[in-house]
Amino acid sequence: MNILIVLTSHASLGNTGRKTGFWLEELAAPYWILQDAGATLTLASPAGGRAPIDPASEAPEALTDSTRRFKADTAAMTAVANTLRLVDVEAAHFDAVFYAGGHGPLWDLVDDPASIRLIEQMAAADKPLALVCHAPAVLRFAKGPDGRPLVAGKEVTGFTNAEEAVAGLTEVVPFLLQDVLQEEGARFSKQPPFEPHVVTDGQLVTGQNPASSAGAARRLLALLG
């Protein structure tokens, strides 16, 4: 079982002067769930090389058993430091793809041609695709095999407008994930801010927030049988 995990390469949080990247829990929890289930994992990002971890996700209050295990694991941290370039990745080599969130993907993955191609090829091959928190935004410009927006008519979730408001970043992010997915015809499902929530529609799995990371990974495994 070969699974690709896609991370952002973007490290600047808009014009705030603060750093961003991928949210560590959204990699760490799926990483261990999938690897412990026997999956072979490959990490990729738009630029390749070291993928930036959002510093806020390494704060003491954000740490979990999964993130502590990840940071203490040499092989895991080496994988983050040596991601493949997304343009060099072939969808045919993988049984499933998992996109970790964090704010970074809003800037570099949403309109990345290699990412869009990967998503569309996975959909055309009817292979599972899971995305958590801000990562569902990368579905914005992807098309289904019928040429319509991939999310049109599908039930999805992701970081909500309410959660972005709580984070104080509504005016910082380039767009609101909930709004753009609804504009593309998605049926957006949500729970109260920061409550775990995972939605499966066919081979598409989406998780609302960091607390949904483990659940999204388990749903992905269920689709893989």
For 173, which DSSP code? S
Neighbours of 44 (CB within 10 A): 23
Average pLDDT over residues 94-114: 98
Asked if 89 and 118 touch (Cβ cutoff 8 Å), the reply is yes
Average pLDDT over residues 80-99: 97
126, with CB counted inside 10 A (0-12, 13-18, 19+), is: exposed
Task: Give the Å distances, CA to CA, from 215 to 6, 29, 51, 220.
Answer: 17, 9, 23, 9
Query: Looking up tokens 């070291």, which residue turns up?
Result: 50
Q: Across the chain, what does the average pLDDT equal?
A: 97
User: Per 3-state DSSP, what percentage of the chain is helix, strand, and coil (rounded to 5)?
Assistant: 40, 20, 40
- Local structure of 143: helix, strand or coil: strand
Sign of CA dihedral 156, 180, 161, 187: negative
26-63: pLDDT as tens digits: 999 999 999 999 999 999 999 999 999 999 999 999 99
* In CATH, 2-224 is 3.40.50.300: no
Task: Give the Å distances, CA to CA, from 39 to 2, 35, 94.
Answer: 6, 5, 11
Average pLDDT over residues 100-126: 97
Asked if 185 and 151 touch (Cβ cutoff 8 Å), the reply is yes
State the pLDDT at residue 67: 97
Partners of 156 in the beta sheet?
188
Cα 45 from chain centre = 11
pTM for this one? 0.97
169-190: pLDDT as tens digits: 999 999 999 999 999 999 999 9
Query: Which run of H or of E encompasses 3?
Result: strand 2-6
Name the pLDDT band for 139 (thresholds 50, 70, 90). very high
State the pLDDT at residue 156: 98
- Local structure of 169: helix, strand or coil: coil
The rounded distance, in Å, linking the Cα atoms of 221 and 225 is 6
193-221: pLDDT as tens digits: 999 999 999 999 999 999 999 999 999 99
Name the pLDDT band for 8 (thresholds 50, 70, 90). very high
